[in-house]
Amino acid sequence: MYRSRLKGRLDEHVLAYLSSMDEDSSLLHYDIVGSEAHSIMLYEQGLISRDELSRILSALEDAKQISPEELKVMRERYEDVHEAVETYVIERAGMDAGGKMHTARSRNDQVALDLRMKIRDDITSIESAILDLIDVLLLRAEECVDAVMPMYTHLQHAQLGSFSHYLLAYADMLFRDIERLESCYARVNLSPLGASAIGGTSLPVDRERVASLLGFDSIVENSIDATSSRDFILEFCSSLCITMLDLSRMAEDIMLWSSTEFNYVELPDELTSTSSVMPQKKNPCPLELMRARASTMLGVLAAAMGIVRALPSGYSRDLQEGKRLVFDAFRITYESLIIMKQIVSGLIVKRKSMLDAAERSYAIALDVAEQLVQRGMAFRVAHRLVGALVAYAHAHNKGLKELSMEDLNSALHEPLYRDTAELIASILSSVSPEVSLSRRSSKGSPNPREQERMIHARKERSKGYRGMVSTREERLEHTLASLQDMVKSLVMR
Ligand code: ARG
């Protein structure tokens, strides 16, 4: 369609190589709606007549019915969805009307528009999926406030904690993922249309009018920036990449803890896969794939950044390659969030195994040392004393609470620890995992009361975000519904 400058048809292999029709199917709807708003503006600015507008809009409305089969045929004929839709409109509305649709517009500002419209919807879908996962985490946390377990650093027992505390940590990370997406939304929700190929137009367009018809907050002002910047894609992909990294760490924990050796949690059967040969197998395959897809996301982000790196200013066809990356990023993250929600919701929590591990653990050591600090001992002395106790207990294959008076006397023979055996015996007799947690008093600790406060605060926060997302969604739906009404009334003359 655009080849009057060039001789002959585009080589068929080159067309297949150039074409973005495959990934463009997810932009079809946005391309049509964007073209409707653009055409209305052209009419309002006196650039096309009322009759031409009606014919264009009626063809665009028909284009909304393009079936998957028709799209397949179009794939073999066009370089991209913009060319396909324009040709479709010209075929129906005639060249005298349809041929005016692309006035004061370029595929460069058009593709940026389509992408921005798709990504703002994607952000809303991802935020809602994150909130669904957060709500399940909070629900499970509520049940697990008193599910004591060892916490790990370096994958070694560190301090005692609770399963709720673990779940809440991920809820907080996911809240930050929402914050990042929210701030990204503000930069995505700007209209590039009217920037033309790179340098604007001599025709009297109203860029703000198109922006407002399509529910954008404003425009991307500079026409070079509007057509050639893709930082909004990089930002979106990196935000999703961070979410996938969060999910991959959760996936890893759950896989580890569902192993026979840990036995802290179990996945419901319907979320696991088995072996074709080993009849006993219950494999956490969805979590393994999530872990791997987090790596795919790293590749997606690196590829997206690589496309923009050192690209000359202005549109280059390289940018087309970024589209499929954005669509992959969305699909991977969205699907993973849904699966993780199901996993957290169905997870069988084995409190007894967790408690047994906590009771067998030396992870209570810091709590014992802090008891000594409370009685006036310097922390560094308490640290050394309890370290010596643990070394003795470990060498004698005992737990701290199993140490007899005799053990304590031999473990604490250094002059520095003189006369502490009785005190230690009384402290050890009073400590237990539950007591340790109830004594933790710092803000954000696994103390059960603190857990309840945190869960409550996060439930409120989740409600607030849901309200914000749905208000924004409703506002956009309302704007687009008004545009649709306008289109309908302009079509029926
Ligand atoms: N298919 C292109 C893309 O997805 C559209 C813009 C093409 N512009 C151009 N001047 N060739 O990025």
- What does the pLDDT profile of the chain (493 residues) look like in tens digits? 777 888 888 888 999 999 999 999 999 999 999 999 999 999 999 999 999 999 999 999 999 999 988 888 888 899 999 999 999 999 999 999 999 999 999 999 999 999 999 999 999 999 999 999 999 999 999 999 999 999 999 999 999 999 999 999 999 999 999 999 999 999 999 999 999 999 999 999 999 999 999 999 999 999 999 999 999 999 999 999 999 999 999 999 999 999 999 999 999 988 898 888 888 888 999 999 999 999 999 999 999 999 999 999 999 999 999 999 999 999 999 999 999 999 999 999 999 999 999 999 999 999 999 999 999 999 999 999 999 999 999 999 999 999 999 999 999 988 888 889 999 999 999 999 999 999 999 999 999 999 999 999 999 999 999 999 999 999 999 999 999 999 999 997 5
Instruction: Compute φ and ψ for 190, nearest 5 degrees.
Output: -130, 140
Other beta carbons within 10 angstroms of residue 478's beta carbon come to 11
How far apart (Å, rounded) are the C-alpha atoms in residues 181 and 202? 36
Residue nearest to atom 3 of ligand 1 (CA): 320
Instruction: Compute φ and ψ for 486, nearest 5 degrees.
Output: -60, -45
Could you tell me whether strands 218-219 and 190-191 are parallel, antiparallel, or unpaired per DSSP bridges? parallel
| Cβ partners under 8 Å of residue 303, min gap 6 | 321, 325
Instruction: Compute φ and ψ for 8, nearest 5 degrees.
Output: 75, 175
How far apart (Å, rounded) are the C-alpha atoms in residues 188 and 117? 8
Instruction: Count the alpha carbons within 13 Å of 131 in the hemisphere toward its beta carbon.
Output: 22
Verify whether residue 396 is a known catalytic residue.
no
Residue 199 CA to ligand 1 centre (angstroms): 16
3 state DSSP class of 190? strand
Q: Largest Cα–Cα distance of the chain, in whole Å?
A: 103
3 state DSSP class of 348? strand
How far apart (Å, rounded) are the C-alpha atoms in residues 394 and 411? 11
3 state DSSP class of 267? coil
Whether the pTM exceeds 0.75: the reply is yes
pLDDT at 493: 57
* Strand intervals (E) in 275-349: 348-349
How far apart (Å, rounded) are the C-alpha atoms in residues 246 and 248? 5
**The domain defined by 365-431 carries CATH number 1.10.3470:** no
How far apart (Å, rounded) are the C-alpha atoms in residues 10 and 1? 10
Catalytic residue among 273, 275, 426, 489: 275
Instruction: Compute φ and ψ for 148, nearest 5 degrees.
Output: -75, 140
Residue nearest to atom 7 of ligand 1 (CA): 107
pLDDT at 307: 98
Mutate which of 315, 323, 325 for ligand 1? The one with the most ligand atoms within 8 Å of its CB, which is 315
How far apart (Å, rounded) are the C-alpha atoms in residues 376 and 307? 62
| Cβ partners under 8 Å of residue 373, min gap 6 | 379, 382
108 CB near ligand 1 (under 6 Å): yes
Residue 424 CA to ligand 1 centre (angstroms): 75
Q: Kindly report the CATH class assigned to 108-351.
A: mainly alpha
CB 360 within 8 Å of CB 393? no
- Closest alpha carbon to 128 in 475, 469, 461: 469
Verify whether residue 154 is a known catalytic residue.
yes
Other beta carbons within 10 angstroms of residue 339's beta carbon come to 18
Q: Which atom of ligand 1 is nearest to the CA of 79?
A: 1
Q: Which helix (H) or strand (E) holds 226?
A: helix 223-228
- Beta bridge pairs of residue 190: 218
CATH topology of domain 12-103: Fumarase C; Chain B, domain 1 (1.10.275)
How far apart (Å, rounded) are the C-alpha atoms in residues 192 and 213? 13
DSSP symbol at 160: E
pLDDT at 271: 87
In the chain, the amino acid numbered 410 is: S
Residue 111 CA to ligand 1 centre (angstroms): 7
Residue 323 CA to ligand 1 centre (angstroms): 11
- Beta bridge pairs of residue 273: 283
The two tokens of residue 145 are 């406030």
20 CB near ligand 1 (under 6 Å): yes
Q: Where are the domains of the chain?
A: 12-103, 108-351, 365-431
Q: Tell me if 108-351 shares its fold with 365-431.
A: no
- Beta bridge pairs of residue 219: 191
How far apart (Å, rounded) are the C-alpha atoms in residues 70 and 242? 38
How far apart (Å, rounded) are the C-alpha atoms in residues 86 and 100? 10
pLDDT at 278: 82
CB 263 within 8 Å of CB 256? no
CA distances from 237 to 175, 187, 208, 225, 244 (A): 17, 14, 28, 19, 10
